[in-house]
């Protein structure tokens, strides 16, 4: 699999997978209790489960009685059974993490970690580089979007789950790692990279032509609202009369952060609708005080704009608050919940609901189509040209110079 620079399908951010929102356990328990209210029904379900699990119990006993290398590791077998159960759902977003994986994946979305500094895709058969972080070791050695990790320290990792490959890449600062990547489908290249403490970027800003405020948001994290609000206020103080909000290759993050940042530009509006499997829905509205309701807004998007990014994009588009420019977004419209398992045995991440745009549009596997479609080719990237950003600037100039 090779992903071109302008067609980045981003599923996960390096060491930053986080639940899209946290839901009440009371709600889950309430539903289970209602289903078990009749003892006869409960007894029937228990008998059905005992019958259903007979083959599993038989297989468990066979392994313990006949497997060559004894004793077997019951903990690993239990974890493998849970992992297989989650995999059988056929949902790439529902999964099991063992205790170590859960601990690593539960890092805060803002802050620091030690590694090579790259966003990656763990959804396929191989670990794929989405993009190096600015000024990171990965960027300095020349890793590129679409690079596939084939070996680590001369050990082939193509038969490992990409999340386990990711664990091998992380490590203490100032230690070296040799990564062999496949580029352009056949070419293999070795990169020796020195791990470092990586400051995870959140907001990047600049003032264009003295009146256009440009804000790029890398992730919807714990501190993103405060950083975004401060950056926007500073740009307005510097004379910005228009805002270009860059959400390209923003893989998402926290739902609450997406709602808060959308609330900066929208007042008393629905941001998203949550739809459960039984068809019931719940609306989420703006919750912060709007500070820039009237400033003209242009939002840059591409195939790497996913999840929480699409929540904001969908709200802006449905409420006709912004001009959306770029390419159709990724199409991540499922909400997951992390549920820790008893006895510190890791956690399951399970899809519990769809989210819809304020107008009720389902974006899962479809994405959001921009108002103005503009390509960003690999040739543009190599030439240092950004036609999507330039399109937004041109639209603004048309307003000032009709």
Catalytic site includes residue 307: yes
| Alpha-carbon dihedral angle through residues 306, 283, 352, 109, given to the nearest 10 degrees | 40
Spot the catalytic one: 121, 246, 256, 318.
318
Spot the catalytic one: 307, 309, 351, 391.
307
The whole-angstrom separation of Cα 321 and Cα 379 is 32
The whole-angstrom separation of Cα 19 and Cα 308 is 11
Q: Can you state the angle between helices 255-265 and 224-237, rounded to 10 degrees?
A: 20
Long-range contacts of 229-236 (CB under 8 A, 24+ apart): 229/264, 229/291, 231/203, 231/205, 232/264, 232/291, 232/292, 233/291, 234/205, 235/205, 235/207, 236/292, 236/295
Catalytic site includes residue 351: no
Spot the catalytic one: 5, 229, 327, 332.
332
The sign of the dihedral angle between the CA atoms of 222, 224, 225, 226 is positive
* Structure-block tokens of residue 199: 């400051």
With contact defined as beta carbons under 8 Å apart, do 147 and 185 qualify? no
Q: Please provide the DSSP assignment of 181-233 as one string.
A: EEETTTEEEEEEEE-EEEEPP-EEEEEETTTEEEEEE--B-TTHHHHHHHHHH
With contact defined as beta carbons under 8 Å apart, do 207 and 214 qualify? yes
SS3 at position 292: coil
Element (H, E) at 282: strand 281-285
The whole-angstrom separation of Cα 112 and Cα 210 is 33
Phi and psi, residue 201, nearest 5°: -70, 150
Q: Count of residues for the chain? A: 402
Catalytic site includes residue 237: no
Strands 334-340 and 323-326: unpaired
The catalytic residues are 307, 318, 332
């Amino acid at each position: 699999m090779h992903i071109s620079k302008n067609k980045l399908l981003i599923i996960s951010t390096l060491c930053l997978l986080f639940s899209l929102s946290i839901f009440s356990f009371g709600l889950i328990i309430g539903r289970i209790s209602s289903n078990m209210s009749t003892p006869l029904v409960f007894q029937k379900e228990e008998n059905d489960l005992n019958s259903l699990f007979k083959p599993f119990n038989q297989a468990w006993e066979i392994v313990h009685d006949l497997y060559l290398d004894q004793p077997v590791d019951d903990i690993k077998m239990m974890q493998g059974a849970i992992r297989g159960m989650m995999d059988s759902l056929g949902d790439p977003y529902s999964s099991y993490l063992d205790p170590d994986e859960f601990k690593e994946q539960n890092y805060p979305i803002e802050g620091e970690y030690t590694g090579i500094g790259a966003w990656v895709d763990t959804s396929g058969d191989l670990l794929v580089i989405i993009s190096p972080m600015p000024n990171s070791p990965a960027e300095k050695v020349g890793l590129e979007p679409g690079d596939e990790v084939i070996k680590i320290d001369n050990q082939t990792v193509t038969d490992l789950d990409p999340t386990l490959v990711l664990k091998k890449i992380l490590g203490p600062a100032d230690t070296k790692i040799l990564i062999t990547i496949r580029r352009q489908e056949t070419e293999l290249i070795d990169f020796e990279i020195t791990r470092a403490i990586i400051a995870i970027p959140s907001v990047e800003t600049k003032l264009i032509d003295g009146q256009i405020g440009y804000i790029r948001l890398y992730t919807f994290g714990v501190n993103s609202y405060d950083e975004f609000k401060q950056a926007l206020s500073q740009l307005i103080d510097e004379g910005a009369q228009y805002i270009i909000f860059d959400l390209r290759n923003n893989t998402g993050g926290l739902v609450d952060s997406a709602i808060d940042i959308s609330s900066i530009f929208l007042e008393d509006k629905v941001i998203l609708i949550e739809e459960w499997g039984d068809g019931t829905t719940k609306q989420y509205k703006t919750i912060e005080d709007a500070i820039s309701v009237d400033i003209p807004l242009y939002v840059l998007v591409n195939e790497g704009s996913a999840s929480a990014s699409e929540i904001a994009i969908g709200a802006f588009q449905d409420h006709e608050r912004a001009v959306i420019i770029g390419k159709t977004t990724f199409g991540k419209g499922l909400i997951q919940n992390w549920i820790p398992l008893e006895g510190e045995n890791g956690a399951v991440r399970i899809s519990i609901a769809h989210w819809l745009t304020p107008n009720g549009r389902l974006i899962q596997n479809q994405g959001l189509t921009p108002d103005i479609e503009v390509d960003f080719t690999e040739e543009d990237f190599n030439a240092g040209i950004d036609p999507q950003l330039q399109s937004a600037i041109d639209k603004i100039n048309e307003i000032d110079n009709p």
